[in-house]
């Protein structure tokens, strides 16, 4: 059997994968990488206009159906749906629901991520940064669980009935401060408050910059914007990722050609960009038999 590159993305909501990493996923799939996704919640707290619910019995059913369509476009090798309730934003009533992701114990969620890692056996894992991108509790919860699971997965003393497996690299998705700062400037020019953005005015763009972490990898994704847009469009109930008018694709490809990542493991010696490929330095290994504990959608 030929050894193949395997990438696991551990995110929180249906749409996180497309809005955040659609072009990157398409790029690696096109290169022959097996890309897998953890979607920790069912997205049921997302704001949805009534017309989008026609034919669906719940917001969760709609959001997961949109994820299935996007996953088909992006070419995932497998999608693991944990099924937790969406927590909504920090401090909201929905974030106090005992069934939401934010209220789950770190140990329980991390164990589920370990099971996926041991099943998929990825060389590279991506999750959110410690701030959860924009402070969303579900993003923070899955980031913490994924960080714990990354190291526990290779520990033979941590038993799940599966063969231990240690991934080689862990990354956080990152934001380029200069790009966000430029966006903040544009918002202020238009008279908008950067601390109250988004459909529900509950996203603090300035805080995103304040919590940004160093970037160590910049991956060129400019050739995959068409797939990125197509996957994002599948999440129509969430405006397809568009809350403001989008720049023409050709211009975006020039200005935002590269996507940044923080390398958590192995830790960099210095905080500067030293990679253009998340699989740089990775040793491809043959996949070993594992006991699958979770359903792949």
CA-to-CA distance for 5 and 121, rounded, in angstroms?
10
> Please, which pLDDT band fits residue 241 given cuts at 50, 70 and 90?
low
pLDDT of 1 higher than 70: no
d(CA 286, CA 289) in angstroms, rounded, equals 10
Please give the average per-residue pLDDT across 47-76, as a whole number.
Answer: 96
Q: How many helices (H) and strands (E) does the chain have?
A: 9, 7
| 3-class secondary-structure state, position 144 | helix
pTM, full prediction: 0.90
Mean pLDDT of the region 195-199: 64
Positive/negative CA dihedral, 5, 148, 204, 39: positive
Contact at 8 Å (CB) between 66 and 237? yes
Average pLDDT over residues 224-252: 80
Sequence-ordered list of residues with C-beta below 8 angstroms from that of 108, at least 6 positions apart, any chain: none
Domains, the chain, ranges and CATH? 6-174+213-265 (3.40.50.10320)
Q: Is the confidence at residue 297, as pLDDT, over 50? A: no
Q: What are the pLDDT digits (tens) for 20-34?
A: 999 999 999 999 999
Give the CA count within 13 Å in the CB-facing half-sphere of 93: 0
pLDDT at residue 295 tops 60: no
Task: Kindly write down the DSSP assignment for every residue of 246-274, as one continuous string.
Answer: PPPHHHHHHHT-EEEEEEEESPPSSSS--
What is the residue-wise DSSP string for 61-121? Answer: HHHHHHHHHHHHHHT-SEEEEEEEBP--STTSGGGG-TTBGGGS-HHHHHHHHHHHHHHH-
Strand order in the sheet with 258-265: 78-84, 34-41, 6-11, 124-127, 169-173, 258-265, 217-220
Strand 34-41 to 78-84 pairing: parallel
């Amino acid at each position: 059997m030929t050894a193949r590159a395997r990438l696991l993305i551990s995110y929180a909501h249906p749409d996180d994968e497309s809005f955040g990493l659609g072009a990157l996923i398409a790029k690696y799939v096109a290169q022959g990488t097996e890309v897998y996704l953890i979607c920790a919640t069912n997205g049921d707290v997302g704001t949805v206009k009534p017309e989008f619910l026609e034919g669906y019995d719940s917001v969760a059913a709609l959001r997961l159906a949109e994820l299935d369509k996007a996953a088909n476009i992006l070419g995932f090798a497998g999608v693991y749906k944990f099924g937790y309730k969406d927590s909504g934003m920090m401090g909201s009533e929905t974030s106090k629901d005992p069934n939401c992701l934010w209220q789950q114990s770190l140990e329980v969620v991390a164990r589920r991520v370990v099971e996926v890692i041991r099943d998929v056996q990825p060389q590279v894992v991506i999750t959110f940064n410690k701030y959860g991108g924009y402070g969303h509790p579900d993003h923070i919860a899955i980031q913490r669980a994924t960080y714990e699971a990354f190291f526990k997965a290779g520990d033979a003393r941590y038993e799940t009935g599966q063969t231990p497996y240690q991934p080689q690299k862990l990354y956080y998705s990152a934001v380029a401060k200069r790009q966000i700062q430029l966006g903040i400037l544009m918002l202020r020019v238009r008279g908008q408050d950067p601390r109250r953005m988004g459909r529900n005015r509950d996203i603090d763009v300035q805080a995103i910059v304040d919590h940004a972490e160093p970037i160590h990898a910049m991956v060129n994704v400019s050739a995959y914007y068409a797939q990125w847009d197509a996957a994002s469009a599948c999440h129509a109930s969430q405006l397809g990722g568009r809350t403001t008018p989008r720049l023409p694709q050709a211009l975006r490809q020039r200005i935002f050609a590269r996507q940044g990542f923080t390398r958590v493991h192995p830790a960099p010696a210095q905080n500067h960009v030293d990679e253009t490929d998340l699989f740089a330095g990775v040793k491809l290994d043959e996949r070993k038999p594992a006991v699958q504990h979770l359903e792949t959608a």
